[in-house]
Every structure is written in structure tokens, then in C-alpha cells.
Structure 1
Amino acid sequence: MFIQIIQGTCTRQDETHQLLDEWRRDLSPGATGWLGGTYGFTDDNQMIGVVRFDSRESAMANSERAEQGEWAGRLNALMDGPMEFHDCDDVTLLMDGGSDQAGFVQIIRGKVDDPSRLKAMLADTTSLHEMRPEILGGTLAIEPDGTFTETVAFSSEEAARRGEMLDAPPEVRRELDYAMQGATFYDLHKPWFETA
């Protein structure tokens, strides 16, 4: 799997949501290898999209389509400034990946010097699911320099906040502290999803 993260400041949220819906309706049928996406806005007007393809080649082929270029120009015009793009070939699924049933999504961006340590922490999903049943799944996308974007789908924000209050076992807390040091959290209170 290949993930591209798109982020930018956006105060024209209704128009942007409509344009993203238009992409799914009109352009996704011609996007080879497109698997889906998770989208939303933060309270401070950050638009974030986490888009999944089956490979980098499929994502790049989509980017080269003329109709994609025209659509991207319209999206860019709705932003309050430049957009950031992060391309990730190193993708790990948490449980079964994300969930279109999520009522709340948290995007976590950080950087680690040992990505394998972060992936190992997320590999033990049995104990995680027992401790945090409100976590429905997620994805971990890692860039070559160790920058990561973790997308976590929760059943609801209320359940996620309750889960945050639980005391994690010391070994789990140690790994979380390592991974989340200096990380930025983006809360998508009203996420929406697209699936191929």
C-alpha cells in the first residue's frame, strides 16, 4: 500500500468538502489502484486527507491525468495557502486498517529515529484492542527520514477521551512516550471517508 497525506489551511470548508466529494464521484472511477481516503478539518482550519493507493506507481499515474491536474488546481484555489504533500511507501495497518464507521479520527504526525520500534509497538494489536476497544483500526505511514503519520479511527470522540485516561502498562507507556515525543495531534471531529 502507498499513502499520500495532503494538508493545508482551509476556511472554505463546505466548498472543499464538495470538491472532494466530486473527485470521488467523477474522477475516482478512472484512478487505477485508488483504495480510499480519510478526510476532515481540524478546529484550527487544517484540511487533512490521507489517501490510499495500491502502489506509488498507481498514485503517480493518477497525478499525471489531465483531469486530475485540473481538479487539483481547483482544490489549490480553495486553500488559504500552500498545501503540503507527504508520500509514504512504508505503510503498516493497525488491526484491519481504518474504518469508515469511525465517529472520530485522530491524525498524529511525528518523527522517530527507529521506525521498526514504532511498527513493533503497533503490531501487538491484541493487547491494544483489549485495553482500548474504542480503537477501530488505523494506518501508519512512514517517510524515509522517519517522519510518520498515524491515522487512528475511534468509535466516538467520547470513547476516545475516556480511553486516553486509562493507565497504560509501563512497557506500553515507555514506547508511547518514545513515539509521541514532539508529535502533533490533529483531531477530525467530523471525518468522512471514501472507499473504492
Structure 2
Amino acid sequence: MFVQVFQGRVADVTEARQALDRWARDLAPGSHGWLGTTAGVTADGTLVAVARFESREEARRNSDRPEQTQWWMETAKLFSGEVAFHDCDQVDVYLRGGSDSAGFVQVIEGRVREPERVREVLRRIEPDLDGCRPDLIGGLAAVSADGGYVETAYFSSEEEARQGESKELPARLREAFEELMGQFEGAPVYHDLREPWFYSP
């Protein structure tokens, strides 16, 4: 799997939603290797979109389509500043992966020192997460070649997610989380999508 993320400030949430709806309606049927997109706008007006593809090559084929270029030229006008892109070849799915039934999605962004170490820790804690956090449906942890990290976590609801966060973790899981947080260069940024938008083939 390959993950492409783009994000930036938008002034009009409705127009942003309409742009992604238009892509799903008009461009998705002819897309190459597209597996789905999770998007939304945070409380501070940041649009975050996480698109999943079968491979980098398929994503590139999609980007090269004239209709894709035209769509992006129009959509880019909705952003009030710079748009950041993250292309991630290392993608790990944990628990039940993404879900279009999630009521709350959190996108965690940062930079990690040792991507393979992060992958190992995530695999190690997955069985414990399943029993300890029933609010967590699953997610995707994606890392780019330069260590950029984007995790998309899907929860049943924000209320249940906050309740889950407040629980005291078992010692083994707490230690693993501390190890994971220690891999970040600086503090990660959390983007809360309280009204997530889901698009699937």
C-alpha cells in the first residue's frame, strides 16, 4: 500500500467538502489503484486528506491524468496558504485498519528517527491494544523516505476515544508507548477530525 497525504488551511469547509465530493463522483471511477480516502477539517481550519493507493506507481499514474491536474488546479485555490504533501511507501495496517463507520478520526503527524523501530513497536503492542482499547477500530501508520510519520487512527466516537485515553495502561503497553513517543523528533501534531469524510471505490 502507498499513502499520500495533503493538508493546508481552508477558509470555506463547505467548498472543500464539495471539491472532494466532486473528485469521488467524477474522477474516482477512472482512477488507478485508488483504495479510498479519509479526510476532514480540524477546528483550526486545516484540511487533512489521507489517500490510499495500491502502490506509488499507481498513485503517480493517477496524478498524471489531465483531469486530475485540472481538478487540483481548481481545488488548490481553496487553500489560504501552502499545501503540504507527504508520500509514504512504508505503510502498516493495525487492528482492523481504517473504517468508514468511524465516528472520530485522529491524524498524528511528526518525524521519527528509526522507522523500522517504530514498525516493530507497533507490531508488538497490537495484541494488547485490541484488548485494552475497544474504542480504537484500527488504523494506518505510514512513514516517508525521510522519516516523516503520518498515522491515521479510527475510533468509534470521540467520547469513547477520550475515555479510552484516560484509562491507566498496563505496564507493558505504557512502556511501549513511551518507547514509541521517544522515537519522535519533537512532539507529534494531532489533527482531530470530528466530522470525518470517507470515500471508497
CA separation of 1:174/1:145 partners in 2, compared to 1, >3 Å: closer, same or farther? farther
- Written as runs of structure 1 = structure 2, the 5 A alignment for 1:103-122 is 103-122=103-122
- Written as runs of structure 1 = structure 2, the 5 A alignment for 1:83-94 is 83-94=83-94
Conserved 8 A contact 1:8-1:83: yes
Q: Match of 1:192?
A: 197
Q: Match of 1:183?
A: 188
Give the Cα–Cα distance (whole angstroms) in 2 for the partners of residues 127 and 62 of structure 1.
38
Deviation at 1:112, TM superposition (A): 1.8
Q: Deviations over 1:103-155 (max 9, x none)?
A: 00000012221222221222242210110001011001101222210000000
TM-score (norm. length: structure 1) = 0.96
Q: Match of 1:76?
A: 76
Q: Which consecutive residues of structure 1, in runs of 5 or more, have no partner in the other structure?
A: none
Look up the SS of the partner of 1:167 in the other structure.
coil
Give the Cα–Cα distance (whole angstroms) in 1 for the partners of residues 160 and 64 of structure 2.
41
Give the Cα–Cα distance (whole angstroms) in 1 for the partners of residues 147 and 127 of structure 2.
25
Conserved 8 A contact 2:16-2:78: yes
Q: Deviations over 1:129-183 (max 9, x none)?
A: 1100010110011012222100000000000000000112233223323333511
Look up the SS of the partner of 2:137 in the other structure.
strand
Q: Match of 2:156?
A: 155
Conserved 8 A contact 1:76-1:82: no
RMSD between superposed Cα atoms in Å: 1.2
Give the Cα–Cα distance (whole angstroms) in 1 for the partners of residues 189 and 158 of structure 2.
18
Q: Match of 1:126?
A: 127
Give the Cα–Cα distance (whole angstroms) in 1 for the partners of residues 178 and 69 of structure 2.
41
Deviation at 1:94, TM superposition (A): 1.1
TM-score (norm. length: structure 2) = 0.94
Look up the SS of the partner of 1:47 in the other structure.
strand
Q: Which consecutive residues of structure 2, in runs of 5 or more, have no partner in the other structure?
A: none
Conserved 8 A contact 1:110-1:179: no
CA separation of 1:147/1:175 partners in 2, compared to 1, >3 Å: closer, same or farther? farther
Structure 1 stretches of 4+ with a deviation exceeding 4 A read: none
* Percent identity of paired positions between Structure 1 and Structure 2: 44
Name the amino acid aligned to 1:193.
F
Deviation at 1:32, TM superposition (A): 1.1
Give the Cα–Cα distance (whole angstroms) in 2 for the partners of residues 127 and 176 of structure 1.
11
Q: Deviations over 1:30-63 (max 9, x none)?
A: 1110000100011011000000000001100111
- Written as runs of structure 1 = structure 2, the 5 A alignment for 1:1-196 is 1-123=1-123, 124-180=125-181, 181=184, 182-196=187-201
Give the Cα–Cα distance (whole angstroms) in 2 for the partners of residues 95 and 142 of structure 1.
18
Look up the SS of the partner of 1:193 in the other structure.
strand
Look up the SS of the partner of 1:130 in the other structure.
helix
